Amino acid sequence: MIQAFVALGSNLGEPITQLQQALQALASCPQVGKLRCSGLVRSPPWDGSAQPDYYNAVAELSWQGDEPLDLLQAIQQIETAAGRKRHAEHRNAARTLDLDLLWFGGIRRDGPRLQLPHPRMLDRAFVMRPLAELAPTLVMADG
């Protein structure tokens, strides 16, 4: 099993309920073993736009398999089931659910569909605070 971290965020509809449902959906994936979640962090929109505050958390899970794209596909299916609509022209639009694969067993990847570790996570307190709650000694590949 590979240790992975997934960021969860929501600011439309019932954000806390949607995050709980996303965690339940993650837990029901056959490849997921152990799953635990940080506490919630409430934060304003990343880009300062006029939209509701986000509720954010990070989930730590063990994943059976060595291909991070499989986990990415699973979390994108969970987003779609929650009503997530992707807008290429509005990357930071409000959303019912946003799941980002942050880290996958220390693997480094720079592909068109997936970059690992997540390239912007170190700049985002709403990701790093809950991640530090779960894994205070986690070291990124570059130290």
Do 53 and 45 form a contact (C-beta atoms < 8 A)? Answer: yes
**Residue 25 three-state SS:** helix
2-134 folds as: Alpha-Beta Plaits (3.30.70)
Which residue among 42, 47, 66, 84 is the active-site one? 84
Are the C-beta atoms of 118 and 101 separated by less than 8 Å?
yes
Pairing of strands 98-104, 54-63: unpaired
Whether 98 is catalytic: yes
Q: Which of 42, 47, 100, 113 is catalytic?
A: 100
Q: Is 113 a catalytic residue?
A: no
The catalytically annotated residue of 66, 86, 91, 98 is 98
Q: What is the DSSP letter of 141?
A: T
User: Does the model's pTM come out above 0.85?
Assistant: yes
| Active-site choice (36, 95, 109, 110) | 95
Residue spans of beta strands (DSSP E) within 64-138: 98-104, 109-110, 115-116
Per-residue pLDDT tens digits for 11-69: 988 999 999 999 999 999 999 999 999 999 999 887 767 789 999 999 999 999 999 99
Q: Render pLDDT for 89-137 as a digit per residue (tens, 0 to 9).
A: 556 667 789 999 999 999 898 888 898 888 788 788 898 899 999 998 8
84 is catalytic: yes
Q: Where are the domains of the chain?
A: 2-134
